[in-house]
Amino acid sequence: MSNMALTDELFFNKAGLNKTRTQDMVNDALRGADDGELFLEYSEIESLTFDDG
């Protein structure tokens, strides 16, 4: 699987982001910018809880 396919799977399929809407928002944010940085993070949390009651 290519890096782009893996990124699409992770952020757009698993996280439920709309690719077109996300791209439009990034384009709007970067309009007129000379330089920028974009950081995306995906995390999963798993926990167990025991209850006596």
User: Do the Cβ atoms of 42 and 10 come closer than 8 Å?
Assistant: yes
Indicate whether 36 pLDDT > 80.
Answer: no
Would you state the pLDDT for residue 33?
87
**For residues 24 and 18, is the Cβ–Cβ distance under 8 A?**
no
Q: What percent of the chain has pLDDT over 70?
A: 98
What pLDDT score does 10 carry? 81
Residues 12-25 pLDDT 10s: 888 778 889 988 99
Closest CA to 40 of 26, 20, 30, 24: 26
- For residues 11 and 40, is the Cβ–Cβ distance under 8 A? yes
Q: What are the sequence ranges of the domains in the chain?
A: 1-43
d(CA 53, CA 51): 6
